[in-house]
Chain A
Amino acid sequence: MTSISRTVLLDADTQLVRDALERPDLLSAWLGDWTENDDEPGTATVVTDDGRQRDVVRLASTPDSIRWQWTLRDDRSAVSEVHIELIERGHQTLLVVHETAVHVGAGPVLSAAPIGSISWMPCLLALGAVIAMSSVAHV
């Protein structure tokens, strides 16, 4: 099992950032069109910018982290877990995102650019390096 990580330093305090991770109107502004499922608390639906719909189940929420699992609506085998950490840096907030594949799914992820013709050794070295490091800085 592997995960990708991204880190970004945001010019806002942790409370403002936390709002952006919890309020549907703010989530819709950056993550995707977010709709809470009022009849099933702790769950939501989000349509991300790739046009795909994901069903979200919140797993945990603490003052400095949020964790949810999401599943692609059109490929129920594509399940991953998102863990977002908020770290106070003065008046700024360091946001660390980890997404871990639970199941990768059957459908194409990169429909516009399938990686069917990549050569073997660079492919292995790149993937091995990614898995070994399991972390890529965004900012």
Chain B
Amino acid sequence: MRSERSHAGPERTDAVFVALGDATRRDLLRAVASGGPTTATRLAAERDITRQAVTKHLSVLHTAGLVTGRRVGREVHYEADPEPLDAALEWITATGAAWDRRLDRLAAIFRA
């Protein structure tokens, strides 16, 4: 686990969607984001999943750039990074708004 961010770009945004498509990973990300730097051991202890499973999920989140890991002694401390969500949110917001406008125009055709 490296402490630097993953590379930005469309692939990472795709990875964000993949990472957040899983409820357990969303839960872990919320926990890391709200609780500050934490470890896989601590996250596992607070949930009914193994440390290995938590580590795997954190690895996916790290690939998406949503968490960073910093080794402290024998453990890795994970911290949340919101920056990769920008592109994902932009896509969702812009795409949804675009379809709202298009469907308004389509509905207007049939109202005329």
- Enumerate chain A interface residues (CB-CB to B < 8 A): 1-2, 4, 6, 8, 10-12, 16-17, 20, 26, 29-32, 48-50, 77-78, 80, 95, 97, 99, 101, 103-106, 108-110, 114-116, 118-121, 123-128, 130-132, 136, 138-139
Residues of A within 8 A of B23 (CB): 132
Q: A97-B99, A101-B14 are in contact. List 17 more A-B contacts (CB 8 A).
A: A1-B18, A2-B21, A4-B96, A4-B99, A6-B99, A30-B103, A30-B108, A80-B95, A95-B103, A99-B95, A110-B93, A115-B89, A118-B89, A120-B82, A123-B82, A127-B89, A132-B23
**Contact of B86 with A by CB under 8 A:** yes
B105-A123 in contact (CB<8A): no
| A75 to B: closest C-beta gap in Å | 9
Given contacts A2-B21, A49-B101, A115-B89, contact A106 B106 (CB under 8 A): no
State the majority secondary structure of interface residues on A: mixed
State A87–B2 Cα separation when bound (angstroms). 50
**Contact of B49 with A by CB under 8 A:** no
| B6 to A: closest C-beta gap in Å | 15
Residues of B within 8 A of A103 (CB): 10-11, 14
